[in-house]
Amino acid sequence: MSSITTDTYCGKCGEPIYNEDSHNRKPCPKCGATSRKYSLTASVTVAVSASVKATVVLYPQSLLDTAESLISKGDELSLSMAVILCHTACDIAADRAFSSILDSNSLGHIKKELRAMFSGYSPNNDRLWNLYSALSGEKIQHKPFWTPLKKSYDCRTDIVHKGKMADMKQATITHKEATSFVAYLKQ
Ligand SMILES: [Zn+2]
């Protein structure tokens, strides 16, 4: 079960805006601006009865599935949420892959220290992905999904930090490359 909650605020003064049609924005009741910013919360509940292994496999994929259904809606807010969800799926998959590759290289005992050295799993985090490649024996940066995924990460940053919206092309590419990335990491 996945659910997404969206809160809308005035882009200028931050006043909360309720029940707005994104195709027909009215001026902010407080300052009159029509720009908007959004805050997104995605939550995924996994059935308790599922086996541990099934849960591990399910999670990034369920985010990608939710992203796909958002893309089919086609409006700019849904497309932007889809981009964010795809990158959340990538983060979770990367976190798990990093953890299991440390275990399989007998480095599990310094996992906590290694994690603390790297802030997050952005594709721009070259040192982390160089380490991952060294441990896996295969350059992840040479995979076909890598460059478009990296570019898409910048699109995600624009959405989260600058309030920009994604378009259909950006969302579709992000979903495709994120799916390849998650599959590559076997998550
Ligand atoms: Zn306002």
What is the full DSSP assignment across 98-110?
Answer: HHHHHHHTT-GGG
Sheet holding 2-10, edge to edge: 16-17, 2-10, 36-44
| pTM of structure | 0.70
- Residue 48 has a pLDDT of 44
Instruction: Compute, in angstroms, the gap from residue 30 CA to the centroid of ligand 1.
Output: 5
CA distance 91 to 84: 11
Architecture (CATH level 2) of domain 59-186: Up-down Bundle (1.20)
Instruction: Compute, in angstroms, the gap from residue 166 CA to the centroid of ligand 1.
Output: 22
How many residues are recorded in the chain?
Answer: 187
Instruction: Compute, in angstroms, the gap from residue 116 CA to the centroid of ligand 1.
Output: 40
How many CB atoms lie under 10 A from the CB of residue 122? 19
Instruction: Compute, in angstroms, the gap from residue 27 CA to the centroid of ligand 1.
Output: 8
Instruction: Compute, in angstroms, the gap from residue 8 CA to the centroid of ligand 1.
Output: 11
pLDDT tens sequence across 43-68: 554 444 444 444 444 588 888 999 99
Going from N- to C-terminal start, the domains of the chain cover 2-44, 59-186
- Residue 90 has a pLDDT of 93
Instruction: Compute, in angstroms, the gap from residue 20 CA to the centroid of ligand 1.
Output: 14
Instruction: Compute, in angstroms, the gap from residue 165 CA to the centroid of ligand 1.
Output: 19
Instruction: Compute, in angstroms, the gap from residue 34 CA to the centroid of ligand 1.
Output: 8
Structure letter (DSSP) for residue 35:
-
Structure letter (DSSP) for residue 28:
P
Selection from 87, 100, 97, 113 nearest residue 170 by Cα: 87
Instruction: Compute, in angstroms, the gap from residue 43 CA to the centroid of ligand 1.
Output: 28
Residue 90 · residue 125 · CB < 8 Å: no
Structure letter (DSSP) for residue 45:
-
Instruction: Compute, in angstroms, the gap from residue 31 CA to the centroid of ligand 1.
Output: 4
The per-residue pLDDT string of the chain (187 residues; one tens digit each, 9 = 90 and over) reads 455 666 788 888 988 888 877 777 889 999 998 888 777 665 554 444 444 444 444 588 888 999 999 999 999 999 999 999 999 999 989 988 999 999 999 988 998 888 888 878 888 899 999 999 999 999 999 999 999 999 999 999 998 888 889 999 999 999 999 999 999 998 7
- Residue 54 has a pLDDT of 43
- Residue 174 has a pLDDT of 97
pLDDT tens sequence across 124-133: 899 999 999 9
